[in-house]
Amino acid sequence: MYPLLLVRYGELSLKGRNRKTFEDLLLTNMRARLADLPHGRITKTFGRIYLETKDNWADLAERLQGVFGIVSVSPVLKRDLDLEDIQEGASLIIQDTPGKTFKVEARRPNKSFPLTSPEICRALGGHVLRNFPHLSVDVHQPDFVLNVEIRQEGAFLYSQVIPCLGGLPAGSSGKGLLLLSGGIDSPVAGFLSMKRGVSLEGLHFYSYPFTSERSKAKVVELASRLAPYNSRGTFKLWIAYFTEIQKALQLSSHQTLSITLMRRFMLRIATKLAEREKALALITGDSLGQVASQTMESIHVINAVTTTPVFRPLIGLDKQEIIDLSVKIGTYETSILPYEDCCTVFVPTNPATRPRLEKVLEAEAELDVDGLIEEALAKTELLEVKP
């Protein structure tokens, strides 16, 4: 019944060229997200986007609920610039909208229409009250608002406002590299950074044969769940071979530091890859105090290997809040599948919660740090993951 979807986007503070970039990216990401669904033209007018539907507005709206930068969508009826026609459209909308109280809001950018906005409100309000005895007017807290917009091309009517994700279009902020494990946290960290406009690539450290093909397949699956939110709807996933580093760490005489050392290797490799890929930040799923490697002391010592900014979008979230988000974005079911991660395989019984930098440097002096990193980078492979 609704031939159009009205798409609202936010961040009104954006001006000039930024605004144009924002809008162009939003349109590109919308097109990518809707590619396999039938739809008509997408047009942009006065800070809004209109999408022509093909009798499938609900499917299209559901898809757009997963596109960052969109604040809300409304299914819209279009009528000729004729009061009777508009009233008939209003009746159709009312039949489709639950609620007992309503008000009418009218806007008239097209001043050639003979009625003023207050006159339109009165005419439509009267029409609704006459035809729908179960409804009454409440101008302060109505169950729904019947909106009418009188434009050059016709009258646009809607009542439903479907909230969407908000945020900034993925890609509008620049590129980031997500350290993606098979756990619950890192996919959520990726989601939250995409929400603020980061276009993501992923990096997974894989320790075959200590960890199985299955654990890699799981990470690919997680990447495919993130892909729809990403700019252009795809996800570049780098798989770095971590096996030699794990072996070297196993032989180290500083076992309580092995997790700290491992994390420093991860950040160093990620920093090099980010430079190569022109990514401006690294993103991890760290949450403060969650495990030994996520105390402030650990983060301090681990972070010391890089000058690239490290974003930790989950730093202030409790585990339950992270889980709730992962359920919402559809990664939870995959994340809880049993798997071995390179970290779980080698967790020492007594990991240091307050590693000291001098000790860490001593331990690293026994290792061929640069050689191990070069080797891992040389063996890194790229997977193009689609939704």
**Which residues lie closer than 8 Å to 349 by C-beta, 6 or more apart?**
none
Burial 12-43 (b: 16+ CB within 10 A, else e): eebeeeeeeebbebbbbbbebbbeeeebeeee
Q: Which C-beta is closer to Mg ion: that of 189 or that of 301? A: 189
Q: Which is nearer to ligand ATP, 193 or 284 (CB)?
A: 284
Q: Smallest gap, in angstroms, from Cβ of residue 331 to ligand ATP?
A: 10
Instruction: Choose from Mg ion, ligand ATP, none: what does 342 bind? Cβ within 5-8 Å by kind.
Output: ligand ATP
44 SS3 class: strand
* Cβ-based nearer residue to ligand ATP, 74 or 207: 207
- Dihedral, 308, 195, 290, 326 alpha carbons, nearest 10: -140
Please, what is the minimum distance in Å from the beta carbon of residue 268 to ligand ATP?
13
Query: What does 241 bind: Mg ion, ligand ATP, none (CB cut-off 5 to 8 Å by kind)?
Result: none
Partner in contact with 255, chosen from ligand ATP, Mg ion, none, beta carbon below 5 to 8 Å by kind:
none
Whole-angstrom distance, CA of residue 68 vs CA of residue 356: 41
204 binds, among Mg ion, ligand ATP, none (CB under 5 to 8 A by kind): ligand ATP
Contact positions toward ligand ATP, by CB under 6 A?
Answer: 179-181, 183-186, 203-205, 284-286, 290-291, 293, 341-343
> Whole-number minimum distance, CB 308 to ligand ATP, in Å?
14
In angstroms, give the least distance from the CB of 169 to ligand ATP. 24
Q: Judged by CB, which is closer to ligand ATP: 5, or 189? A: 189
Give the nearest residue (CB) to ligand ATP.
183
Q: Measure the CA–CA gap between 379 and 372, rounded to whole angstroms.
A: 11
To ligand ATP, the closest distance from the beta carbon of 356 in angstroms equals: 19
* Strand, helix or coil for residue 151: strand
**Residue least distant from Mg ion (Cβ):** 183
Helix (H) or strand (E) run with residue 268 in it: helix 258-277
CB of 327 to Mg ion, least distance (A): 18
C-beta of 60 vs 180, nearer to ligand ATP: 180
CB closer to ligand ATP out of 13 and 349? 349
Q: What CA–CA distance (Å, rounded) separates 113 from 88?
A: 17
Q: Which residues contact Mg ion (rule: CB under 5 A)?
A: 181, 183, 341
Give the one entry of ligand ATP, Mg ion, none that residue 291 binds, where binding means its C-beta sits below a cut-off of 5 to 8 angstroms depending on kind.
ligand ATP
- Cα(83)–Cα(81) distance, rounded to whole angstroms? 7
Q: Provide, rounded to whole angstroms, the least separation between the CB of residue 85 and Mg ion.
A: 59
Q: Measured between alpha carbons, how far apart are the two ends of the chain, in Å?
A: 30
DSSP sequence for 168-209: B-TTSSEEEEEE--SSSHHHHHHHHHHHBTEEEEEEEEE-TT
Nearer to ligand ATP, 163 or 289 (CB): 289
Taking the C-alpha atoms of residue 370 and residue 366, their distance in angstroms, rounded to an integer, is 12
Nearest to 107 by CA among 128, 91, 121, 126: 121
